[in-house]
Structure 1
């Protein structure tokens, strides 16, 4: 169910009918309810006594807040990881970066390369968090991945320039860590995630259907929405 929610098969606000879900998953209602309760505790599902379980809806402010916290946590991970680098850890990071280079070698990200590139991206960020040797960082970052669009699994694939820029950050982070430059790596990681949020803000207005789940609140300022509405009214 978690994957169905994160992939968008179950949409924000959608009621989770237990009989239908139990039949679809081939399980009884008891383990299903246990799973729904666990998802509610993780923040992906909400429950109301007069409504039952339903997919939680997030505003853009929720998404932005998750990005901001993730940026600081992963920057801290870089700072700590720099003092824990080994030859094996360095080799792993550069192998992941080289894999990204290979997947982007055609100056595009073909659809068949999207999943492998996403996997590489997740492995790169996870490797740094593991090197930080502070399990709380990974625990809290993984909880943020339950907020739609804030996860390192989201790749904004329409704009190859953005993908290439993001992967260049991977190069610079890996290089800084290999040199023991924790503060530099932390600064690049913070900018890496902050830029992703800024680009996401722009892309959500243009192509909301491209992403795993669409925030329930228009991310534009009220005045911008009003100007847009006035244009439609006078057209």
Structure 2
């Protein structure tokens, strides 16, 4: 991928993937994060969820980690004056903790569900939990269009039972699961569409390719939203 072209599209995007406040609130309530708790935002992107995470721990703290320097720089700038938030560029597979919750919005797939959860176990405080969203089939018979998209983007996509099996293989018990809402997806896609419209006139070949791929992602989800989405899972080590 041409990362310069990718970040040209995503530079001003408010978030790095689908999520919303209702989903975050549900997950943190289910996990029982204390008001003085410590939360890690693993794969934080530009930092879209940090403020909401801080609101759940008014006497606690949030550490946010992202591998891409560009994302870490944006999140750092957004929370430079927030003493309870620390943002760093680094490997989310090497967290130290201890954390009462590890929150990962659409990023755990970079490690693999079972592998990532296994690594994160040692970074959790006693009674700590993980909340993560993962691409998920909502049908046993996806259309050719949906299948072709995910064969390119993430061939390991599975269904809710498959995600549950991966969680259990890491030695975790599932506290709850629910799909992200359409609003969570539109909150990600609509700002992207505005940026696409801004960038299209005079776009270089590399940027044009990135714009076309983004438009295909948006159109495919809108056409096939009943077939797939993100499943939000909250789990705790057994």
**Higher Cα radius of gyration:** 1
Give the structure with the larger strand fraction: 2
Quickly name the TM-score band, shorter chain normalised: under 0.3
TM superposition score normalised by structure 1: 0.23
TM superposition score normalised by structure 2: 0.23
